[in-house]
Structure 1
Amino acid sequence: MKKILPFIMIALGASLWGIIAVFVKGLGEYGLTAMEIVAARVFFAAIFLVLIGIMRFRNCFKLESASDIRLFAGTGILSIVFFNYCYFTAMNQISISMAVVLLYTAPAFVTILSYLFLKEGINLGKIAAVAGTILGCILIAGVTAGSSDITLFGILTGLGSGFGYALYTVFGKFALRKYHPFTVTLYTFLIASVFLIPVTRLWTKAEIFLNTEVLLLSIGLGFVPTVLAYFVYTWGLEKTDGSKAAVIATVEPVVAMLLGVTLYGESLGAVQIAGALLILSSVIIVNLPARRKNAGMVDDSSKLEH
């Protein structure tokens, strides 16, 4: 049991990310926009992280330099805010299944961005993964181009979520050179909250948040598929190989697809499924050979933002 428990925890963390649509759809039904939902998520996540930090990570609050705020502006604003906005918008424009699959184009973006900005090497496996991802997107976009349930804006925001997700890895790697993963996570959500609350003027929706269901959905969004999912995933990651964790984590889109089919009556065609499988296979290809060294740090930086 001790040997398989880390795998179970990784799968549980990824599954919790996969149910995020329940909270997003629920809040959307009360008239909250995608950006307001993002603001609610980062605000409540920040509260939970501060409380956890006080109890367990008091030494992780201090920054070495005030100028390092720019690193967390990168992870918090350029990544978290942009990624979540695109992801939540895509869920309302296209199916949950397709939104989460397009999110998983992130490893292809990571490969390209890491090559350009982090001077990381690129090999045939990575090139094949990028090509597979592009082909998968073409299959998804091409076969559904005439469908009223799929919009070009939905596909673009879905790809935008993958790009925003990838940006976190780039900024996160720089931040993790100096700071503990919890410090990076904490300041990421704090900066995102400080930025988003005045931008969205969330206080003008105070009356809506007095509704018990809206409040519970907001708290749940900030805790279950955010803080809890991250800690569960990280616990498992610390006790297993990073490349295995990356493969197990692909349970997330599977859970999201099942959720879309069972709760929201979504359906997938054969070509859509083929495109989705191409993208997920590319995720496995790009992770398996490259993440055996320093797997913990790399995988922490790629998963913190969820």
Structure 2
Amino acid sequence: MSVAVPARARSSAAFVLAGVLWGTGGLAGSLLGQLGGLHPLAVAAYRLLVGGGVATLFVFVKGGSLPRTREAAKRLLAVGGLFALFQASYFAAVALSSVSIATMTTIGAAPVMVTLASVRKPRRWTLVSVAGTVAGLVLLRWTPDEPAHLVGGLGFALLAAAGFAALTMLTAKPVDGLDPMATTAFGCLVGGILLTPLASWPGMALPLHADVLAVACYLGVVPTALAYAAYLRGLADAHPVLGALSAVLEPLTAAVLSAVLFGERLSVTAWCGAAVLVAALAVGYWRPEPR
């Protein structure tokens, strides 16, 4: 006997899976950069190209095909462009400021932008969840010793947030002939191709060593192809605001993994921030905006 799972529960589970898998991407990307001697832009390009290539192969094996309508082709070009914009802007923000400031600004600003753009009159619980998310990120990622006045870094981080917000709102509207996996597959490929000329400037030579290739495959498959497919699947049944809020699971997962795997000690302030993030996300799941 099969048990019907409510759409809300399916979307919540998909968002949680995406956020947790994204949280492993930062560590995998950092490791790939170290092992392969790659610039962050090259890591981002390989992430999209490998993820898109593997997901495309999966789509073809399952009997899928290239998009056959103009609407589907336009959607994939837009998704690919937003993937490239998000990745390039985020890594530019990292280069001009720091990982903490770039992550805090990007992921903190994205749900605010989605809320302002997609909700005419936000519900009280939505505002509480968004405000808690921003406050939790500040507590989790803020380091007093880091410069907070670098306008260029903050500008690129906000551009990355805008790219992620636009991706979230765009993919929340379905297109005939494109399911979440096909959108992820072809969108990542397009984004990787668009990002390759920019990433080629600092160099994209990838050492053909087993450990480097294994990390590159993991980065492309798990926190990219699987994570974005799960995220887009969640957007099919949930409001875009909830999707943007779920992205906070990425820095939360990365912080916990760093503490567990590498012995990095989180301050009391960071742990408080983690608790606030969990509470804010719980409010978002408990009282989501209606579609």
1:17-166 equivalences in 2 (<5 Å): 17-29=22-34, 30-59=36-65, 61-65=66-70, 69-77=73-81, 79-87=82-90, 93-94=98-99, 99=103, 103=107, 105-115=109-119, 120-136=120-136, 139=139, 144-145=143-144, 147-148=145-146, 156=154, 161-166=160-165
TM-score normalised by structure 2 residue count: 0.72
Distance 1:251 1:233 in 2: 12
Q: 1:227 to 1:57 in 2, by over 3 A?
A: farther
Unaligned 5+ segments in structure 1 are 294-306
Note the alpha carbon deviations across 1:147-195, whole angstroms, 9 max, x for none.
15x6655983666554432221122134x24433233223311220221
Q: Distance in 2 between matches of 1:218 and 1:44?
A: 7
* Aligned residue identity for 1:84: Q
**CA shift in 2, pair 1:185/1:205, >3 Å:** closer
Q: Which residue of 1 aligns with 2:269?
A: 271
Q: Distance in 2 between matches of 1:204 and 1:58?
A: 34
Residue 50 of structure 1, CA deviation: 1.6
Q: Which structure 2 residues correspond to residues 277-288 of structure 1 after superposition, within 5 A? A: 277-288=275-286
- The question of whether the paired residues in 1 share the 8 Å contact of 2:105 and 2:158 is answered with no
Deviations 1:95-124, CA, capped at 9 Å, x for gaps: 59x937962553232212224xxxx54222
1:31 Cα deviation from its structure 2 partner: 2.7
Decide whether aligned partners of structure 1 residues 88 and 212 sit closer, same or farther in structure 2, where only a CA change above 3 A counts. Answer: farther
> Which whole-Å deviations, capped at 9, do the CAs of 1:211-244 have from their partners, x for residues lacking one?
3332222122111212234556788x69xx859x
Which SS does the other structure have where 1:58 is aligned?
coil
Q: State the AA in 1 paired with 2:126.
A: K
248-257 or 281-290: bigger deviation: 248-257
> What is aligned with 1:212?
210
Structure 2 gaps of 5+ residues are none
C-alpha contact 2:106 2:160 (8 A) present in aligned 1? yes
Match for residue 299 of structure 1? none
Deviation at 1:261, TM superposition (A): 1.7
Identity of aligned residues (%): 24
Secondary structure of 1:209 counterpart: coil
After TM superposition, the structure 1 stretch with the greater mean CA deviation from structure 2, 3-12 or 195-204, is 3-12
Q: Is residue 201 from structure 1 mapped to residue 200 from structure 2 by the alignment?
A: yes
Which TM-score applies when normalising by structure 1? 0.69
- Report the 3-state secondary structure (helix = DSSP H, G, I; strand = E; otherwise coil) of the residue aligned with 2:172: helix
Amino acid at match of 1:64: T
Q: 1:263 to 1:137 in 2, by over 3 A?
A: closer
1:90–1:112 Cα change, 3 Å: same
Structure 1 residue 253: Cα displacement: 4.1
Contact 2:88/2:195 (CA < 8 Å) preserved in 1?
Answer: no
How far 1:56 moved relative to its partner? 1.0
**Cα distance change of structure 1 residues 37 and 105 upon mapping to structure 2, 3 Å threshold:** same
Counterpart of 1:290? 288
Match of 1:258 in 2: 256
| Distance in 1 of aligned mates of 2:186 and 2:250 | 25
Q: Which amino acid letter does the alignment assign opposite residue 211 of structure 1?
A: H
CA gap 1:250/1:242 in 2 versus in 1, 3 angstroms? farther
RMSD value, Cα? 4.2
Alpha-carbon separation, structure 2, partners of 1:24 and 1:221: 7
Q: 1:68 to 1:190 in 2, by over 3 A?
A: same
Partner amino acid, structure 2, of 1:50: T
C-alpha separation in 2, matches of 1:152 and 1:214: 36
Q: Give the partner amino acid of 2:85.
A: F
